[in-house]
Structure 1
Amino acid sequence: MIAHLKGMPVSPDYRPEPHVQELGAEFFDPVAPADFPMTLLRFRNDRAAASVGLEALSDEEWTAHFGRFRPLPDNLPQPLAMRYHGHQFRVYNPELGDGRGFTFAQMREDQGGRLLDLGTKGSGQTPWSRGGDGRLTLKGGVREVLATAMLEALGVPSSRSFSLIETGEQLMRGDEPSPTRSSVLVRLSHSNIRFGTFQRQAYFQKGEQVGQLVDHVIAYYYPELAGAGDRGAALMAAVVARAARLTARWMTAGFVHGVLNTDNMNITGESFDYGPYRFLPYNDPNFTAAYFDTAGLYAFGRQPESVFWNLQQLGGCLTLVSPSEPLIEALNGFGPIYRRELAGALLNRLGLLRGEEEAEVAFANATFRAIAEGGQALRWEPFFFDWFCGDEVRAMGGSRASLYEGEAFAEFRRLLKGFAPDRPERLANAYFAEPEPQELLYDEIEAIWAGIAERDDWSALHAKLAAIEAARTAWGLG
């Protein structure tokens, strides 16, 4: 049933619950959104909107809330730009904060009841813009819409692109042909509290505020830790586990984040803020996504190391409220948890049921050796497509069968027999009768953007999103 709340049509699943303001003025700055010359709706995520009871909004109402930022009923009365610091390529920067975004609203998810944030990118200048214009290019918005759709389909914890609105300004950028078109993006995510949120308070030696932040995070994101004796260490262990799971999912998705700074990691273990990301064309541990990452600090194969380094920085902040020993113990859990999560993520991607831990790890190692043996001839995504649900007959009868004849693949195929398929009926989906799987490689993204930039032709984007959605349904990855 649809009701009207203060003039806005919402479903009973709309449960506004703004809590971020409880942290107090030390953590944010109230800001005003930019007054854009135009608000042209380009993308709305109705599936995500339905999860928070906002799917009944008309396009006009949608644009008013997510382009003009009229407050949602019983929610934050004014947007809040969050304050944080961070290590950027391992150099500490105390001048950060939400420079072109803000937290706009918070609400409960209909399934599971998680507290979710609606946050923005490109919504205008804030006290933390550092001379920037506070805007987002339309190309950047399109790239993020594609990234989040693909990651969700691949079972990677991620923010969801909720809305993309073109805003009618001409922006100058050094890494895009300029002037280029502008947009404002709205994300739906579990939390906008970053490692850098803790770092800012620790930088100023504000132990009381670090403790307050720990209590807030536990209350709204980790309520199962409410009774913990050492709340800082308990939170550290929980964040380590979430980060290990996220990293494992990135690695099996062949995803390269590009800028794994501490301000780009949040405390709930979701990836977000997609700038120079890439998906691997083929296995390459040295593959980087950012042209400015000349040292390969955030290369594909170094992502687990980078995440662990970031967790160490968070642990250092928590020494203001907890003894070092349990924090170190929690940090040392990352490696074992990551290895288990990597094996589980790999089995999930291949559509196989879990097994004994030792057998899982051996199979995971054999799988990555086999992918490496395939070299540049074996693209990342087609491997998982061919071997989904462990169907050897299908894989060896396909166009890439010759790539699977090597010695490393012999070991992979031998160990594969020790795992049962998980929901093999998924193979009956028409998606698996296609000759090639859905990928999201750089050249395709550029081609999609070229149609928009040159002819204002959005058909390729909509077709790609529909194809990714079909793949998500077929994979059924959790």
Structure 2
Amino acid sequence: MPIDPQAYRPETTILELGDGFYDPVAAADFPRAVLRFRNDRAADEVGLSTLSDEEWIAHFGRFMPLPGTLPQPLALRYHGNQFRQYNPELGDGRGFTFAQLRDRNGRLMDLGTKGSGQTPWSRFGDGRLTLKGGVREVLASEMLEALGVPTSRNFSLIETGEALDRGDEPSPTRSAVLVRLSHGHIRIGTFQRLAYNRDEAGLRALTAYVLRHLYGEDADDPVRLLDLVVDRNATLAARYMAAGFVHGVLNSDNINVTGESFDYGPWRFAPTWDPAIVAAYFDHAGLYAFGRQPEAIHWDAMQLAVSLRQISDAEPLIAALDRFPDRYQRAVTSAILWRLGRTPRDHERDRALVQAVERALRTTGTEIARFFFDVFATDPPAGYGTEWEELRAALSGYAPRKPREHPFWSDEPCAMLIDEVEAIWSAIDRDDDWAPFHHKVHAIRQMGQALAD
């Protein structure tokens, strides 16, 4: 196997937790394996970009074990609040953790799957993923990465040759298996399961595992853990808002304790700054609407605090949880300044600028992608009328953090609205034409280069 010996660093740390945290499983035996997307940029970070396509398919379509890491896949156990209703019957129902590796920065990374077959937690599901769902996941993670959102990255997408029946889209439809590269797959719901079972030893072991392996701290302090999770997820909520992203299903089993976004189902990018926009057609109450995402993530962090109460006093946990609003405000200020292409000055003035941005976007109905494209490192252009005067005044004195030199700025904004997503899928579904998909991924990465520090 032609791995990069300098970068390939296999791990098996999840095994430290013991078999009460997971179930060994086997991948489905798919009738076909056609490689549709491989993320060599991410693969290079863990020493796997030198694999041939045949070897890639063997490991990420047939799930032949990678050397030195997990001997077989593990379906993780967890619970969660789904639209605020507690569900103790969850777990990896159509995915598993396939391998653990260190990246070039020494971070512990998991290779996890979606659509890899049934597990003990599948309940009545078939354990599969539609190809359309896989395409949407790749587009979401690529776009979020380019916009500075801490996100899992879709590592591989392989079409698997099965015809799937789904009640919410035209069927039969094509199938796929997806692999994502993530900084851990420990969820708030992983802690909730242990608390539900009153497993204090398990809670202490998981707390120490997360602090040691995902945060690099040699400690087992539940208050410290909650403080870190609050900080990371306040940043995640802020970056969602600056990106104009609506995740759609911010249940506690979909919140990673590292603050890394993952699991993209009914996501949307909001065309305009409308707090009421929802992504999931079944979110009738707007619980996870665009403008309510910080509230939702704060609520999920509260469920972690409730779980940790079994191994900690309440008062310091409450104090850590109460830091979320202030940390979110600081993080959203930083995130919007980053997308504006401005260097921060002082918190009060920066906050006033962000408020001017939000008011202008909300009152004018300007497209989010167009606005940030137009004002990156410059004032709103002449076409922006008098309603933008407050923003022009707020921008006065802010230095650009980088010039508009990249070729991206000579083209048009890169957006990811639902009509374009559907058009990309239609070309694949109708004509097996992958050119629009690959062109979009290239355009997104160009934008990421233009925005990057």
TM-score, structure 2 normalization:
0.99
Aligned-residue offset at 1:119: 0.2
Q: Please say if 1:216 is aligned against 2:201.
A: no
State the AA in 2 paired with 1:415.
Answer: A
Residues 170 and 180, structure 1, Cα contact 8 Å, conserved in 2:
yes
Structural mapping, 1:133-144, within 5 Å: 133-144=126-137
Q: Please say if 1:310 is aligned against 2:267.
A: no
- CA deviation profile, 1:392-437 (whole Å, cap 9, x unmatched): 2xx314xxx1xx3234x2111101113211022xx01111111x20
Aligned-residue offset at 1:134: 0.1
Which position in structure 2 is the counterpart of 1:178? 171
Which one of 431, 452, 455 corresponds to residue 408 of structure 2? 431
Structure 1 runs not aligned, ≥5 long: 1-6
What is the CA–CA distance in structure 2 between the aligned matches of 1:97 and 1:187, rounded to whole Å?
A: 17
Which position in structure 1 is the counterpart of 2:419? 443
Residues 3 and 47, structure 2, Cα contact 8 Å, conserved in 1:
no
Aligned-residue offset at 1:118: 0.3
Residues 150 and 261, structure 2, Cα contact 8 Å, conserved in 1:
yes
Which position in structure 2 is the counterpart of 1:472? 448
Q: Please say if 1:420 is aligned against 2:408.
A: no
What is the CA–CA distance in structure 2 between the aligned matches of 1:456 and 1:362, rounded to whole Å?
A: 49
State the AA in 2 paired with 1:256.
Answer: V
State the AA in 1 paired with 2:300.
Answer: N
What is the CA–CA distance in structure 1 between the aligned matches of 2:196 and 2:332, rounded to whole Å?
A: 34
- CA deviation profile, 1:39-71 (whole Å, cap 9, x unmatched): 100000000000000000000000000000000
What is the CA–CA distance in structure 1 between the aligned matches of 2:215 and 2:405, rounded to whole Å?
A: 39
1:438 is paired with a residue of what secondary structure?
A: coil
Which position in structure 1 is the counterpart of 2:19? 25
2:413 is paired with a residue of what secondary structure?
A: coil
Which one of 406, 413, 431 corresponds to residue 386 of structure 2? 406
What is the CA–CA distance in structure 2 between the aligned matches of 1:136 and 1:10, rounded to whole Å?
A: 31
What is the CA–CA distance in structure 2 between the aligned matches of 1:307 and 1:454, rounded to whole Å?
A: 38
Aligned-residue offset at 1:476: 1.1
Residues 11 and 56, structure 1, Cα contact 8 Å, conserved in 2:
no
Residues 121 and 184, structure 1, Cα contact 8 Å, conserved in 2:
yes
Q: Please say if 1:331 is aligned against 2:315.
A: no
2:178 is paired with a residue of what secondary structure?
A: strand
2:175 is paired with a residue of what secondary structure?
A: strand
Which position in structure 1 is the counterpart of 2:94? 100
Which position in structure 1 is the counterpart of 2:116? 123
What is the CA–CA distance in structure 2 between the aligned matches of 1:406 and 1:246, rounded to whole Å?
A: 33
Aligned-residue offset at 1:227: 4.9
What is the CA–CA distance in structure 2 between the aligned matches of 1:54 and 1:124, rounded to whole Å?
A: 24
Which position in structure 2 is the counterpart of 1:39? 33
Which position in structure 2 is the counterpart of 1:200? 193
Runs of 4+ in 1 over 3 A off after TM superposition: 7-11
Aligned-residue offset at 1:141: 0.1
Aligned-residue offset at 1:8: 4.3
Residues 10 and 57, structure 1, Cα contact 8 Å, conserved in 2:
no
TM-score, structure 1 normalization:
0.94
Residues 212 and 219, structure 2, Cα contact 8 Å, conserved in 1:
no
What is the CA–CA distance in structure 1 between the aligned matches of 2:137 and 2:183, rounded to whole Å?
A: 17
2:66 is paired with a residue of what secondary structure?
A: coil
What is the CA–CA distance in structure 2 between the aligned matches of 1:431 and 1:123, rounded to whole Å?
A: 37
Structure 2 runs not aligned, ≥5 long: none
State the AA in 2 paired with 1:468.
Answer: I
Q: 1:98 to 1:113 in 2, by over 3 A?
A: same
Residues 152 and 181, structure 2, Cα contact 8 Å, conserved in 1:
yes
Which position in structure 1 is the counterpart of 2:85? 91
Aligned-residue offset at 1:126: 0.1
Residues 208 and 219, structure 2, Cα contact 8 Å, conserved in 1:
no
State the AA in 1 paired with 2:385.
Answer: E
Which one of 8, 11, 17 corresponds to residue 14 of structure 1? 8
Residues 85 and 97, structure 1, Cα contact 8 Å, conserved in 2:
yes
What is the CA–CA distance in structure 1 between the aligned matches of 2:3 and 2:306, rounded to whole Å?
A: 46
Moved more, 290-299 or 361-370: 361-370
- CA deviation profile, 1:278-310 (whole Å, cap 9, x unmatched): 001111100000000011000000001100110
Residues 211 and 219, structure 2, Cα contact 8 Å, conserved in 1:
no
What is the CA–CA distance in structure 2 between the aligned matches of 1:64 and 1:412, rounded to whole Å?
A: 54
What is the CA–CA distance in structure 2 between the aligned matches of 1:84 and 1:303, rounded to whole Å?
A: 22
1:313 is paired with a residue of what secondary structure?
A: helix
What is the CA–CA distance in structure 2 between the aligned matches of 1:134 and 1:69, rounded to whole Å?
A: 15
What is the CA–CA distance in structure 2 between the aligned matches of 1:181 and 1:169, rounded to whole Å?
A: 6
Residues 11 and 54, structure 1, Cα contact 8 Å, conserved in 2:
no
Which position in structure 2 is the counterpart of 1:299? 289
What is the CA–CA distance in structure 1 between the aligned matches of 2:30 and 2:160, rounded to whole Å?
A: 6
- CA deviation profile, 1:286-335 (whole Å, cap 9, x unmatched): 00000000110000000011001101101000011111101000000000
Query: What's the Cα RMSD here?
Result: 1.0
Aligned-residue offset at 1:10: 3.2
- CA deviation profile, 1:63-108 (whole Å, cap 9, x unmatched): 0000000000001000000000000000000000000000000111
Aligned-residue offset at 1:14: 0.5
What is the CA–CA distance in structure 2 between the aligned matches of 1:176 and 1:137, rounded to whole Å?
A: 10
What is the CA–CA distance in structure 2 between the aligned matches of 1:457 and 1:350, rounded to whole Å?
A: 35
Which position in structure 1 is the counterpart of 2:343? 353
Residues 230 and 320, structure 2, Cα contact 8 Å, conserved in 1:
yes
2:23 is paired with a residue of what secondary structure?
A: strand
Which position in structure 1 is the counterpart of 2:375? 387
Alignment size in residue pairs = 453
